[in-house]
Structure 1
Amino acid sequence: MTIAATAVPLSGSSDGALKYQSVGAFELEAGGFLPDVVLAYETWGRLNADASNAVLVEHALTGSTHVARGDSDEEGWWEHLVGPGATIDTDRYFVVSVNIVGGCYGSTGPSSSAPDGKPWGSRFPLVTLRDSTVAEARLADALGIRSWHTVVGGSMGGARALEWAVTFPDRVKRCAVISVGAYSTAEQIAFAQAQTLAIRQDPDFNGGDYYGQAAPEAGLALARRIAHITYRSAHEFDFRFGRNPQGAETPLDAARLDRRGRYQVESYLDHQGSKLVKRFDANSYIAITEALMSHDVTRGRGALEEALSVATAEFFIAAVNSDRLYFPEQSRELANALPGDVPVHVIEAPIGHDGFLTEIGQLGPQLRDAFFG
């Protein structure tokens, strides 16, 4: 169902409450068209008189706009970074987080109504990260924000932040890119393809037109399992689970394969898949994964150094030392290609890629000194 395209006034609105804004029709980079795009977003704090304190926080692949608790009861996913007195202090800064186009947390996506009143489903067009940046720029216009004090994100959110700094260099004063490189590599695209194929091959997928009937839950859960393996490190899996069986289940005591028990790590992945199925749409998972596959800041802009040369923002680059999805080498490549001397800050975390979420507090002092002092 398409959500009514109404803007919520900034004054008196609740921190951490979902708001909606129509940003109009879109001719998309890949040739598609959306007649009316609605963006869902949340805000915290208050915009100052000259709109110089606005900070954009970009969510990761299956993340939501709910960065911090605010006035709601629900804990946010970057509480250690955003909030009253935090590194990004909402008593000083006006923080905005936007659900990406194609998502399922309120922005226009495959489950939204097309002009004929039916869900877009299989007809939903390819939306790139560059497209999503243009949509967010229109939202910024509607909010009266000419330029961002800072744009920050991790993983896909970091890719979105980088695209902002290059697509609209005059609108980004500071840019924090965490746990992602300048483009999606062949290996990252390969992992992504396995995930989208898991969904597309689910018997209930119906070519993407499954709304009103059984959803492709098994395929979506399998996609999440594949993704989660890349989000955590081998050390994390060995330390937490080893080769231990799940409870009383016996993986090596079964006369038939279909009756064998599970290892603990299998049970863990099953749990991760089941959790996502309860909160996410399969078509949106495909749409956003395809957007991340499109990530390439050099596309149509020349070599990496040339593409980045237009950026005028101050940059903060960070990586997780144990990340095996977006290797720290990619962050170093990005930093080396940026104008000036840009260091790479390191999150020390054995957990793997998800360290950008669980251990973001490690970057608090550096981010505060660099951008929010």
Structure 2
Amino acid sequence: MESNSVGLVTPRTFTFGSVEEPMVLESGRTLGPVDIVYETYGEPNADRSNAILICHALSGDHHAAGHHDPHDRRSGWWDNMIGPGKGFDTNRYWVICSNIIGGCKGSTGPVSIHPATGEPYRLAFPVVTIGDMVEAQKRLLDHLQVRRLYSMAGGSMGGFQVLEWALRYPERVRSAICIASAARLSAQAIAFNTVGRSAITRDPEWHAGGYEGRGPEQGLATARMVGHITYLSEILLDAKFGRRLQSADRFCYNFTNEFAIESYLNYKGSAFTERFDANSYLYITKAMDYFDISRSYGPLKQAFARVAARCLFVSYSSDWLFPTSQTKEMVRAMLCNSKPVSFIEVDSPYGHDAFLVEEEKLTRIVSGFLEGVAR
């Protein structure tokens, strides 16, 4: 294990609400009791003012850094960013990451047991929003006695949560880092989510959400393949795969996977079905589709007047899912309100996934920003 790793970590569960006193969702429906699974890295200072909340993207979870056991080959999804001397330096900060509600990694979601039936919720689980996810995170921070976050950070859907926090609870956020994200999903992004959900719901093994066991594996794999294409750039795909054939020097003239890119996407799709639930994919992508700052808080200039946090926005030159133009929209809204804001577009060939791949660049950016917050 690396010397600058957070080492072995143990997930914990916080439960709030009940059938009698449930959490009221934005839809008007209720949920209770609610479990939130989370991990922490580093130590809190005396007044817990050094807390940083990490928000994960669609396929992420609470396990952002370290290992669950000594033989665990996979570290947390942002392990290169969280730890001693890293971007989120656990020698200085107390870092918290929780699994969103609606997910399938321990927090209450469609795979959880419905208290009224003793069976999994499945499609009886209410549709949740980014705002609902943030509300659940707030309950967790209240439990952890964090009155005000030193900072918070997230990429993609994690960025949605960062923005929602800064707008909904401005007094609770000292600084915010929004990476490869936007004020709303574009019609194009909603279209890709729609195709993914359609692949799942048209799989004969979906059974209207009532599947047992592995369920609609083919549909979920296809959804992941479609989604994964949006995370990469044309430059990267051409450089990594081009038109290279997988295992032959001539065409087979059939419908097997001949091109290297076909085999890669099939591998990514199949691997995803081993660790994710199809119904959760439906719920989370729907929450992403619903997110729209202007719909909830008014035009961006008006909405960002609420923000009290010092903000850092990071975009990537080859990200066509959340292009830089969408980030600049938010930066302009902050500047119009004379809010403290920093912005950088990172030149990268890695597309939307760059914030998970080029962590060395992001470390320099984040470290400098957090130092500035202290000053």
TM-score if structure 1 supplies the norm length?
Answer: 0.92
**What is the alpha-carbon distance in structure 2 between the residues aligned to residue 261 and residue 182 of structure 1?**
38
Shift of 1:158: 0.9
**What is the alpha-carbon distance in structure 2 between the residues aligned to residue 360 and residue 210 of structure 1?**
38
The number of residues matched between the two structures is 356
- Aligned AA for 2:341? V
**What is the alpha-carbon distance in structure 2 between the residues aligned to residue 182 and residue 148 of structure 1?**
21
What's the CA shift string for 1:89-127, capped at 9, x where partnerless?
112111000101000111001000001101001111110
The answer to whether 1:233 aligns with 2:233 is: yes
Shift of 1:14: 8.3
The residue correspondences of 1:65-84 to structure 2 (distance < 5 A) are: 65-69=62-66, 72=69, 73=72, 74-84=74-84
* Backbone CA RMSD of aligned residues: 1.7
Q: Which residue of the partner structure matches residue 222 of structure 2?
A: 222
SS state of the match for residue 215, structure 1? coil
Shift of 1:346: 2.0
Q: Which residue of the partner structure matches residue 43 of structure 1?
A: 40
Q: Which residue of the partner structure matches residue 3 of structure 2?
A: none
Q: Which residue of the partner structure matches residue 294 of structure 2?
A: 298
**What is the alpha-carbon distance in structure 1 between the residues aligned to residue 168 and residue 66 of structure 2?**
31
The residue correspondences of 1:235-250 to structure 2 (distance < 5 A) are: 235-248=235-248
Shift of 1:249: 8.0
The answer to whether 1:106 aligns with 2:106 is: yes
- Larger mean CA deviation between 71-80 and 224-233 belongs to 71-80
The residue correspondences of 1:1-373 to structure 2 (distance < 5 A) are: 16-24=9-17, 25-69=22-66, 72=69, 73=72, 74-115=74-115, 116-212=117-213, 214-248=214-248, 252-254=251-253, 257-258=254-255, 260-338=256-334, 339-340=337-338, 342-372=341-371
**What is the alpha-carbon distance in structure 2 between the residues aligned to residue 87 and residue 282 of structure 1?**
33
- Aligned AA for 2:61? S
- Calculate percent identity across the aligned residue pairs: 40
- Aligned AA for 1:323? D
What's the CA shift string for 1:278-306, capped at 9, x where partnerless?
00010111111111111112223211111
What's the CA shift string for 1:115-145, capped at 9, x where partnerless?
1101001111110000110110000000111
What's the CA shift string for 1:216-235, capped at 9, x where partnerless?
00000000000011000111
What's the CA shift string for 1:30-60, capped at 9, x where partnerless?
1222121100111101111111000000111
**What is the alpha-carbon distance in structure 2 between the residues aligned to residue 324 and residue 137 of structure 1?**
31
What's the CA shift string for 1:194-236, capped at 9, x where partnerless?
1111111110001111124x51000000000000110001111
- Aligned AA for 2:102? G
SS state of the match for residue 135, structure 1? helix
- Aligned AA for 1:370? F
Shift of 1:15: 5.7
Shift of 1:372: 3.5
Shift of 1:70: 5.9
What's the CA shift string for 1:56-102, capped at 9, x where partnerless?
00111101212111674441222222101112111211100010100
Assess if the C-alpha contact under 8 Å between 1:347 and 1:360 holds in 2: no
Assess if the C-alpha contact under 8 Å between 1:39 and 1:107 holds in 2: yes
**What is the alpha-carbon distance in structure 1 between the residues aligned to residue 371 and residue 64 of structure 2?**
17
Assess if the C-alpha contact under 8 Å between 1:57 and 1:97 holds in 2: yes
- Aligned AA for 1:274? S
- Larger mean CA deviation between 341-350 and 221-230 belongs to 341-350
Shift of 1:360: 2.7
TM-score if structure 2 supplies the norm length?
Answer: 0.91
Assess if the C-alpha contact under 8 Å between 1:347 and 1:359 holds in 2: no
- Aligned AA for 2:332? N
Shift of 1:363: 2.3
**What is the alpha-carbon distance in structure 1 between the residues aligned to residue 51 and residue 344 of structure 2?**
24
Assess if the C-alpha contact under 8 Å between 2:87 and 2:362 holds in 1: no
**What is the alpha-carbon distance in structure 1 between the residues aligned to residue 306 and residue 86 of structure 2?**
31
- Aligned AA for 2:43? R
**What is the alpha-carbon distance in structure 1 between the residues aligned to residue 8 and residue 103 of structure 2?**
21
- Aligned AA for 1:344? F
- Aligned AA for 1:245? L
SS state of the match for residue 297, structure 2? coil
Assess if the C-alpha contact under 8 Å between 2:113 and 2:119 holds in 1: yes
Change (3 A) 1:230 1:134: same
Change (3 A) 1:125 1:32: same
SS state of the match for residue 311, structure 2? strand
